[in-house]
C-alpha cells in the first residue's frame, strides 16, 4: 500500500525513538521518502525542521497574515531555538471551525494552543470541557500582565486560568481618506456603514454573527450589551447588506480590499488598519461610541503537553518577546504599561491604554451574548444569504 509523506515521516521518527535509526540516517531516509513521494519545498522543509528539533511539538492555531508572521518571527522561532521544541503553526478563519473539528474528533488531539478571541470564546471553550488549569508557577511573566485584562477570565474560572491574555484591540470603522472625510466619518459614527451614497464601496466582516449584531445594535440606538429589540438590530443588518460590495472573511482579505480601494468603508480590526497605515495607505480609523473592544488570549486545550505549553506562554509573555510581537502585529500587548515600559510604536497603536486599566473600552458581555447565540446566529446566516 502506498504510504504518504507524512506517514513515512512518522514511521521514520518512531524508528529513531526506538533506537533503530540514528539522526543522520534519519535525515537521509527522510530525503529519500520525500523524493519517492514527489514531495519538495515547503512540505519537506517543515518535516525536516520537525525532525531536526527532536523535542516536543506544540500545535498552534491563529489568525494568519501579519499576526501569524509576527508570532512566528518574534516568538516561535526564538522559542524553538532556545528549547529544541517545535511550534507547528496553522491558521483558521474562525474558532468555530476549530471547535467543530474538535467535537467531531471527540478530543482536542492535535490542537494545543489557540489564539483565542475574547472572553466569550474563553467561556465557550471552558463550558465545552476543553479547558485546562495552568500552573502559574511555570508562567512567572504572568505577573506583568494587566490585572484589568485578567479579571474577566477569572470571573469565568475563579482560582485558575486556562489561557493567558496576550493582546487587545478594537473593531472600529476604517475609511478611505481620499473619498470620505474625517469630519463626515466621525459625525455619522456607526451609521457611516449605512451611507447610501457609498453603496458598492462598503464592506463588512461576514465571519461573526455577533459582530454584525453589535453594529446593528449601535445603528438602532441600543446598548449592545443590553439589546431589547432584536428585530430592530436585524433590520439594520439587512439595510447594511443591501449596500455591501463584499463581506470579508479574514484580516488579510480586509487589508487587500482596503489597500486596492475596492471598498472605502468597513468595520475593521484596529491592528490591521495600523498595518495599512504603516504601509502608507490613505486609511483613517475611529471607534464609534460603544464600539466593540476585545481581548485575545493564548488558550491551552485539554490534552496538551502542559509543561511545554506553559514554557511557551511564559516565553511569549517575556517583555522583549511580547513587545516585539505587539509592534509586528500592531495590537497592544497585555503587559501592564505601569510595570513594563512600552515603546513609542506601541503607544501610538489604536486602542492603546497607557493606564493599563482598560476603563475606556467596551467589551462583549458573555453572559448576555452566549445564551442567545444559537437563535440569533441563524438569523445572521439567513440574512447573509439574502433572506
Q: Which residue has the cell 459625525?
A: 187
- Average pLDDT value over all residues in the chain: 88
Average pLDDT (29-34) is 45
- If one counts every other C-beta atom within 10 angstroms of the C-beta of residue 43, the result is 14
Cα 156 to Cα 6: distance, rounded to the nearest angstrom: 39
113 and 100 inside one domain: yes
Residue 267: left (phi > 0), alpha (psi -120 to 50), or beta? beta
Are 202 and 286 in the same domain? yes
Q: Which three cell numbers stand for residue 146?
A: 494587566
The domain of 276 spans 169-292+367-384
3: pLDDT strictly greater than 50: no
Tell whether 247 and 266 lie within a shared domain. Answer: yes
Cα–Cα distance for residue pair 170/327, rounded to 1 Å: 16
Tell me: do 193 and 274 sit in the same domain: yes
**Domain match, 193 and 275 both:** yes
- What's the mean pLDDT in 233-239? 98
Q: Is the pLDDT of residue 47 over 90?
A: no
Domain match, 325 and 263 both:
no
Tens digits of residue pLDDT in 303-328: 999 999 999 999 999 999 999 999 99
Condensed to tens digits (0 to 9), the pLDDT of residues 249-275 reads 888 899 999 999 999 999 999 999 999
Q: What is the pTM of this model?
A: 0.82
Confidence of residue 94 (pLDDT cuts 50, 70, 90): confident
Whether 372 and 349 share a structural domain: no
Q: Are residues 120 and 193 in the same domain?
A: no
The answer for 350, left when phi > 0, alpha when psi is -120 to 50, beta otherwise, is beta
Q: Assess whether 225 and 373 both reside in one domain.
A: yes
All 3 cell numbers of residue 385? Answer: 444569504
Q: In residues, how long is the chain?
A: 387
Q: Which tens digit of pLDDT belongs to each residue from 354-378?
A: 999 999 899 999 999 999 999 999 9
Contact 190, 343 (CB under 8 A): no
Residues 374 and 263 grouped into a single domain? yes
How far apart (Å, rounded) are the C-alpha atoms in residues 259 and 312?
34
Q: End-to-end CA distance of the chain, in Å?
A: 49
CA gap 345, 352 in Å, rounded = 10
Question: How many structural domains comprise the chain?
Answer: 3
Sort strands 202-205 and 163-176 into parallel, antiparallel or unpaired.
Answer: unpaired
Within the chain, residue ranges assigned H as helices are: 5-17, 23-36, 42-53, 65-71, 77-83, 95-105, 118-127, 147-156, 182-188, 209-219, 230-241, 251-259, 270-278, 306-317, 319-329, 344-347, 366-369, 373-384
**CATH code at position 348:** 3.40.190.10
- On whether both 61 and 119 belong to a single domain, the answer is yes
> Could you tell me which of 18, 17, 384 has the C-alpha nearest to residue 208?
384
> Quick one: residue 308, left, alpha or beta (phi over 0 = left, psi -120 to 50 = alpha)?
alpha
Q: Are residues 236 and 255 in the same domain?
A: yes
Amino acid at each position: 500500500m502506498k504510504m504518504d509523506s507524512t506517514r513515512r515521516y512518522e514511521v521514520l521518527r518512531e524508528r529513531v525513538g526506538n533506537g533503530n535509526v540514528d539522526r543522520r540516517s534519519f535525515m537521509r531516509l527522510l530525503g529519500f521518502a520525500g523524493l519517492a513521494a514527489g514531495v519538495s519545498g515547503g512540505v519537506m522543509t517543515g518535516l525536516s525542521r520537525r525532525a531536526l528539533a527532536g523535542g516536543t511539538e506544540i500545535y498552534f492555531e491563529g489568525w494568519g497574515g501579519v499576526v501569524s508572521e509576527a508570532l512566528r518571527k518574534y516568538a516561535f522561532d526564538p522559542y524553538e531555538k532556545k528549547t529544541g521544541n517545535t511550534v507547528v503553526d496553522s491558521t483558521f478563519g474562525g474558532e468555530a471551525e476549530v471547535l467543530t473539528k474538535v467535537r467531531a474528533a471527540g478530543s482536542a488531539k492535535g490542537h494545543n494552543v489557540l489564539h483565542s478571541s475574547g472572553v466569550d470564546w474563553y467561556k465557550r471553550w471552558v463550558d465545552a470541557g476543553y479547558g485546562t488549569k495552568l500552573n502559574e508557577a511555570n508562567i512567572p511573566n504572568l505577573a506583568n500582565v494587566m490585572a484589568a485584562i485578567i479579571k474577566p477570565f477569572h470571573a469565568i474560572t475563579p482560582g485558575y486560568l486556562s489561557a493567558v491574555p496576550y493582546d487587545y484591540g478594537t473593531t472600529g470603522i476604517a475609511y478611505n481618506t481620499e473619498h470620505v472625510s474625517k469630519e463626515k466619518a466621525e459625525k455619522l459614527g456607526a451609521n457611516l456603514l449605512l451611507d447610501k451614497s457609498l453603496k458598492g464601496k462598503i464592506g463588512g466582516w461576514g465571519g461573526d454573527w455577533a459582530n454584525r449584531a453589535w453594529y446593528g445594535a449601535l445603528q438602532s440606538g441600543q446598548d449592545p450589551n443590553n439589546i431589547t429589540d432584536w428585530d430592530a438590530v436585524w433590520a439594520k443588518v439587512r439595510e447594511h447588506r443591501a449596500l455591501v460590495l463584499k463581506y470579508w472573511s479574514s484580516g488579510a482579505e480586509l487589508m487587500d480590499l482596503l489597500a486596492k480601494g475596492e471598498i472605502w468603508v468597513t468595520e475593521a480590526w484596529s491592528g490591521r488598519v495600523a498595518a495599512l497605515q504603516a504601509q502608507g495607505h490613505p486609511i483613517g480609523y475611529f471607534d464609534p461610541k460603544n464600539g466593540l473592544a476585545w481581548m485575545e488570549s493564548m488558550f491551552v486545550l485539554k490534552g496538551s503537553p502542559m509543561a511545554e505549553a506553559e514554557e511557551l506562554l511564559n516565553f511569549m509573555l517575556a517583555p522583549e518577546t511580547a513587545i516585539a510581537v505587539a509592534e509586528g502585529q500592531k495590537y497592544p500587548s497585555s503587559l501592564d504599561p505601569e510595570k513594563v515600559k512600552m515603546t513609542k510604536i506601541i503607544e501610538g497603536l489604536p486602542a492603546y491604554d497607557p493606564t493599563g486599566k482598560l476603563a475606556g473600552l467596551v467589551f462583549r458581555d458573555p453572559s448576555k451574548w452566549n445564551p442567545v447565540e444559537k437563535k440569533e446566529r441563524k438569523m445572521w446566516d439567513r440574512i447573509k444569504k439574502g433572506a
